[in-house]
Amino acid sequence: GQNIDQPTEMTATEGAIVQINCTYQTSGFNGLFWYQQHAGEAPTFLSYNVLDGLEEKGRFSSFLSRSKGYSYLLLKELQMKDSASYLCAVSLRGNTDKLIFGTGTRLQVFP
């Protein structure tokens, strides 16, 4: 079967760095997405990793290791507005391509 694991909740302090991990076991893999979702709102796109390595976009970076089935999202210089859920999603390649989502990690940033 297809499986994605993320921690359910994390807390951090304003100005700090936090790393949100995502591990996956899937048959067929195109790439991995990270989305941010504030409570009651739509998910918004953060990053898409296809190849191994780190991709940086301002305060946010995303890392992928295809051989280990592992990704992380790194948030630097945390701000209160970063309090949200972070969704890991894997684009599958197979008889039927599809996108599957993890349950999300709820991050709370404290002053």
Partner 1 sequence: DGGITQSPKYLFRKEGQNVTLSCEQNLNHDAMYWYRQDPGQGLRLIYYSQIVNDFQKGDIAEGYSVSREKKESFPLTVTSAQKNPTAFYLCASSQGSWKETQYFGPGTRLLVL
Residue 50-69 contact track with partner 1, rule CB under 8 A, x = bound:
--------------------
How far apart, in whole angstroms, are the C-alpha atoms of residue 94 and residue 76? 35
Q: Is the dihedral of CA 73, 37, 7, 98 positive or negative?
A: negative
Which of 30, 61, 70, 76 touches partner 1 by CB under 8 A?
30
Q: CB of 19: closest distance to partner 1 in angstroms?
A: 20
Which of 12, 26, 31, 105 touches partner 1 by CB under 8 A?
31
Structure token pair of residue 13: 């302090």
